[in-house]
Amino acid sequence: MTDVFIPWLCAGIPFAGALVCLAFWSDPYRVKMLAIISSVISLAWITGVANQLPTPPDGLLPLYLLPIAAVVSALGQPVHENHRLSWAMTLVFLGLGMAVLTSRNSVGPLCLISLMLIIMFLLYRHHTTLWPISWWGIGSFGVGVAGAALSLAAGPPISSVASLATCAVLLPLMPFHDGYLTALTRLPGSLPPFIVLLLPVLGLHGLATAMPTMPNEFVAVVSLLALASALYGAIKALAQSRVRLLVGYGSVSFFSILWWFVAGAHTATPRAAVLAGAVGLATGGLLVAWQVIRTRYGDDVDPQSISGLAAAMPKYAVLFSLLGLAAMGIPPFGVFAGFMGLLLTAPPSSTIGLFIALTAWLAASWYIMQMVQQLLFGARRPDLRYADLRQPEFTSLLIVVLALLALGLAPTNWYASNQVPNKTAAVEQSLAWNR
Amino acid sequence: MRNDVLLSLTLIVPFLLLAAAGIVMIGGRTPRFTRAKAAAYLVALAFLGSIGILTLISSQGPVTVRFYDPASVTAFIIPIGFYVDRLSAVMMTLITGVSTIIYCYSTSYMYQDGHARRYLALICLTDFVLICMVSSGNLMMLFLFWQILSYLLYLLAHNHIHPATLAGAFKTFTLLRVADTAFLAGIALAYQLYGTLEFQELFARAAGTPITLSILPGMDISGTTAVTFLLFIGAMGKSAQFPLHLWLPGSLFAPTPVHALLHAGIINAGGFLINRLAPLFGMSSTTLHVAFVIGTLTAALGATMMLAQNDIKKTLGFSTIGQMGYMIMECGLGAFSLAVFHLIAHGLFKATVFLNCGNVIHKARQEPHFPHTDHADEGAGFSRLTWSTGFVTTLFIPLLILLVTHGVLRIPLLESQGTVIILFFIWITSSQAILTLTRLRAVASWKVSVIMLLTLLFIVFVYLFAVESFTAFLYPNPDEVASYFKTADLPDWLFDLIVVMAAFMTVLGWIYLYMRAHGRTIWMPAWIESIRIRLYTVFLNRIYADELYQFVGSMTAQLVHRIDKLERGWSR
Q: What is the tens place of the pLDDT at every residue in A338-360?
A: 998 888 887 777 888 889 999 99
Give the mean pLDDT of chain B: 82
Other C-beta atoms closer than 10 Å to the C-beta of B41 total: 13
Give pLDDT tens digits for B486-515: 888 888 788 778 878 877 887 787 787 777
Please report, rounded to a whole number, the percentage of residues in chain A having pLDDT higher than 90.
54
Residue of B nearest to A352 (CA): B215
Other C-beta atoms closer than 10 Å to the C-beta of B492 total: 9
**Cβ–Cβ < 8 Å for B281, B265:** no
Nearest to A137 among B75, B144, B570 (CB): B570
Q: Does position A434 have pLDDT exceeding 50, yes or no?
A: no
Give pLDDT tens digits for A139-189: 999 999 999 999 888 877 788 888 999 999 999 998 899 999 999 999 988
Give the mean pLDDT of chain A: 87
Instruction: Look at residues B297, B233, B296 and name the one whose alpha carbon lies nearest to residue B270.
Output: B233
pLDDT band for position B216 (cuts 50, 70, 90): confident
pLDDT band for position B428 (cuts 50, 70, 90): low
User: What pLDDT is recorded for position A427?
Assistant: 38
Higher-confidence position of A412 and A32 = A32
Query: In chain A, which among 309-328 make CB contacts under 8 A with chain B?
Result: 310-311, 325
CA distance B352 to B350: 5
Contact of A283 with chain B, judged by CB distance below 8 Å, is answered with: no
Q: Tell me, rounded to whole angstroms, the distance of Cα A80 from its chain centroid.
A: 25
Higher-confidence position of B362 and B301 = B301
Nearest to B570 among A181, A240, A425 (CB): A181
**Cβ–Cβ < 8 Å for A392, A244:** no
**Cβ–Cβ < 8 Å for B317, B252:** yes
Peptide bond into B249 cis (omega under 30): no
Phi, psi for residue A404 in degrees, rounded to 5 = -65, -35
Which element (helix H / strand E) includes B215? strand B212-216
CA distance A100 to A62: 11
Higher-confidence position of B280 and B461 = B280
Calculate how close chain A gets to B68, using CA atoms only, in Å.
9
Contact of A245 with chain B, judged by CB distance below 8 Å, is answered with: yes
Q: Inspect the interface and report whether the beta carbons of B77 and A308 lie closer than 8 Å.
A: no
Nearest to A330 among B151, B194, B564 (CB): B151
| Arithmetic mean of pLDDT, B421-448 | 64
User: What pLDDT is recorded for position B432?
Assistant: 65
Q: Inspect the interface and report whether the beta carbons of A358 and B564 lie closer than 8 Å.
A: no
Interface predicted TM-score (ipTM) of this complex, two decimals: 0.87
| Arithmetic mean of pLDDT, B216-236 | 89
Contacts of B350 (CB under 8 A, 6+ apart): B260, B263, B264, B316, B319, B320, B323
CA distance B17 to B134: 14
Calculate how close chain B gets to A370, using CA atoms only, in Å.
8
Contact of A354 with chain B, judged by CB distance below 8 Å, is answered with: yes
Contact list in B for residue A178 (CB cut-off 8 A) is 570
Nearest to A427 among B144, B166, B195 (CB): B195
User: What pLDDT is recorded for position A54?
Assistant: 81
Contact list in B for residue A378 (CB cut-off 8 A) is 160-161, 163, 166
Instruction: Look at residues A65, A119, A72 and name the one whose alpha carbon lies nearest to residue A92.
Output: A119
Residue of B nearest to A132 (CA): B571
In total, the C-beta contacts within 8 angstroms joining chain A to chain B are 140
pTM: 0.88
Q: Does position A279 have pLDDT exceeding 90, yes or no?
A: yes
Q: Does position B414 have pLDDT exceeding 80, yes or no?
A: no
**B interface test, pick of A176, A323, A351 with most B CB neighbours within 10 Å:** A351
Please report, rounded to a whole number, the percentage of residues in chain B having pLDDT higher than 70.
85
CA distance B381 to A384: 67
Higher-confidence position of B492 and B103 = B103
Other C-beta atoms closer than 10 Å to the C-beta of A54 total: 9
pLDDT band for position B100 (cuts 50, 70, 90): very high
Give pLDDT tens digits for A384-433: 788 888 999 999 999 999 999 999 888 766 666 544 444 333 333 333 34
Contact of B170 with chain A, judged by CB distance below 8 Å, is answered with: yes
